[in-house]
Chains A and B, each alone.
Chain A
Amino acid sequence: MPEIPKHTIFPISDSALTIDFGNVISESINDFVLSLFQAIKTNPLAGMIEAVPSYSSLTLYYDLFFLRNQIPPGQTGYDWIAAQLLQRLDAAEQKNNISHGLITIPVCYEKEFAPDTEYLAREKNISVEELIHIHTSKQYRVYMLGFLPGFSYMGEVDERIAISRKSQPVTVAAGSIGIAGKQTGIYPLASPGGWQIIGRTPLKLFDAEKEDPVLLKAGDRVQFTSISKDEFKNY
């Protein structure tokens, strides 16, 4: 059974707090965060608005006005919620059964959809073929969603294709696959962004019409496969 990782709690507003398990990118820590998230979602704290997991932390947003009569005198709403949250850590420790579904994402790595591939290949002194081979030769874990609706932060890419983000954001097309440091991710919507773009998927990562609008969830595993321009267009 995994141990409860070392943690700190701090406010990020007068109505939200974060419990952080080390400010790190680690699969086991992220597993713990996700199991705590599941435990809290299944059995929410009184007055809670929502919980948001990230790489190594979980944030709770709560309704202070709703809680005002429950908070014992001499305590703040923050103290009260923090104490309730700490009591839930054991539940997360015992649960820890995060599903890691595997999702295959077809990607066209051709130049038309990959404005930064040549730059990346040149900087890293590899061929474009090698870059594609390296990007598709392992599974990535979705650590968290954020930035845009359905944007998945995945890792970690091989050191040979890891590259820092652009200094200025540019316009990025929906479905674009990017690399930033050792992270890889997919832009679900057209947006300004600073990640280096190496391909595009025809899949809809975010579909507002669906009841479950997001394709990838934190904890999922992703395998990219290379497809041709024709396959992309006829997808």
Chain B
Amino acid sequence: MDTVQDLGRYGWQHLGVNPCGAMDKLSAQFANILVGNGLDEAVIELHFPASAFFFEQPSLIAVSGADFSATVNGEEIPCLRPVLVSKYSILQFHRVEKGARAYLAVHGGLDLPSWLNSYSTHLKAGIGGYMGRTLQKDDEIRFRKPADLCSLLGKKELEVLPWKTDSNWGDSNNAKEILALPGNEWKRLTDKSKEIFFDRAFLVTKQSDRMGFRLKSEPLSTITQEEVVSSAVSFGTVQLLPDGQLIVLMADHQTTGGYPRVAHVISAHHSRMAQMKPGDLFIFRFTDQQTAEELFIKQQQHLLQLQNACKFKLDELLSK
């Protein structure tokens, strides 16, 4: 399932229009940064088995997020590096090495119409992105500002440019630990359920998609059955379903919900969460508001620094 996404469609949730956008926004931004695009440029989000792409003109591309063992014309290319490819090149993905979602960015961006100020595909409404749907064989996407890259390539089919971004930023040694803030209904959990929440690993089940990740663990229960009237939810909100299992809301989540909100995955860990796939196990840890905010701000600062550095290098190369 491959779709066009950006950083999301904000400003319309009061009409029930959910934001959509890339599942792993950090990786989507890395891919754009590497090819000199703005952070919110449209990218292609790939799930394995991913589409193959045929380039009708020389292009500067980058692949980030999951490692699907990409090749150009049969030659392996690294993730998180800008790659110049010649006219008539073929980009293919062969197997899942790591992660769940890869992002493909092209220098200049994709030439697509925006809907409500966003390029993200809204699959439910069938609009946005590429014709409101997943990509299919023989679809053709134009690039917005094709730069003249021929001279840089010379006679070569492929050139990996010398700058990169670090994928594991902020990941340290605890890739399987997800930091969260307690939700408003956390206090409704029984003491036993609170223990389970912290002590057990949670399994990402097959019922996980762009709307949300259904988790499996020992069932949790609440001390009250009092209803929660529907109200807004957020990317990363962890809700308790009637069967005692948890769901983490992801990019295509509904705008509102009425299930108890047990926790909220912090923004700085959305990327880590989005790269989990069915069968993966992880643990929850609580943090506080201040730490969550600091981690997010640091992540954004890091992105800006990378953007400036990459832009400088690309400009230098193009002006030669």
Seen from chain A, the residues whose Cβ lies within 8 Å of a Cβ on chain B are 10-16, 18, 20, 23-25, 37, 49-57, 59, 61, 64-65, 68, 76-78, 144-151, 153, 188-189, 191, 206, 208, 213-214, 217-218
Contact = CB atoms under 8 A, between A and B. Distances in A.
The binding surface of chain A is classed by DSSP as mixed
Nearest to A55: B229
Nearest to B297: A68
B296 A12 contact: no
Nearest to A53: B14
B296 A65 contact: yes
Nearest to B13: A52
Contacts of B292: 14
Nearest to B270: A13
Nearest to B264: A13
Contact of A65 (B11, B116, B261, B300): B300
B293 A12 contact: no
A149 B252 CA distance: 12
B301 to A, nearest CB: 8
Given A15-B267, A149-B125, A59 B231 contact: yes
B183 interface: yes
A25 B17 CA distance: 22
B234 A13 contact: yes
B15 A149 contact: yes
B235 A13 contact: yes
Contacts of B12: 50, 149
Nearest to A58: B232
Contact of B16 (A16, A68, A146): A146
B58 to A, nearest CB: 35
A14 to B, nearest CB: 4
B228 A147 contact: no
Contacts of A188: 16
| A-B pairs, 3 with minimum CB distance | A146-B256, A59-B232, A14-B292
A147 B234 contact: no
A52 B14 contact: yes
A50 B184 contact: no
Given A11-B289, A12-B237, A208 B115 contact: yes
A170 B158 CA distance: 50
A214 B292 CA distance: 35
